[in-house]
Chain A
Amino acid sequence: AQSVTQLGSHVSVSEGALVLLRCNYSSSVPPYLFWYVQYPNQGLQLLLKYTSAATLVKGINGFEAEFKKSETSFHLTKPSAHMSDAAEYFCAVSYQTGANNLFFGTGTRLTVIP
């Protein structure tokens, strides 16, 4: 099955600490990968996307993600957490053939501790 797995439904970090949110995909074809962020009572906002160009992708708000084919991973990182980063983060995958929709992970809620 084609899907994404987000390890850890909740992650807590201290303000200023490294943020690492994990995403692994299962795919038989090269994937297109996305990270979305959802702030409370808002819709999802695109953070960054991988579309087979550079494997290290930089997004908004200082986030970046690296596509590692050997590990089938697309983990999201930020060197220094800010209080405003507290939100829910979703990894999603789309494919070159057939599918017209994104398959989302179950999300990781990030808490930033002052």
Chain B
Amino acid sequence: GAGVSQSPSNKVTEKGKDVELRCDPISGHTALYWYRQSLGQGLEFLIYFQGNSAPDKSGLPSDRFSAERTGGSVSTLTIQRTQQEDSAVYLCASTPASAALNYGYTFGSGTRLTVV
């Protein structure tokens, strides 16, 4: 597609439920990143994919968080047993190469997750 697409744009869920957030990167972009943006804070790195593999999962805050990428394209971020502190905007970005050295990232519009 023309840009990075994320769905849903908004998600309200009850505490304890599982949620899935989807990211569809720009076609041909091999690298995909997930960030979390909490109110009043900067962007927190979650996980990075190169193709279908995730060389860097260091940012996942707990084992309730997981992500996968299939076909070198769409990625899904899953949060199990959601907690109120999971409420944030989850941003996805992609780049055409494995490093952001000569590229910025292209970001999606994000999924605003609210856990009630």
A positions within 8 Å CB-CB of B: 9, 32, 34, 36, 41-46, 49, 51, 90, 92, 94, 96, 99-107
Contacts and interface: CB of A to CB of B under 8 A. Distances in A.
Contacts of B55: 100
Contacts, number: 62
Contacts of A42: 109
Interface stretch (B12-20, B42-50, B79-87): B42-50
Contact of B102 (A43, A51, A92, A100): A51
B41 interface: yes
Contact of B98 (A96, A100, A107): A100
Interface residues of B, number: 28
Contact of A106 (B42, B45, B107): B42
- Most chain B CB atoms below 10 A, which of A96, A101, A102: A101
A100 B109 contact: no
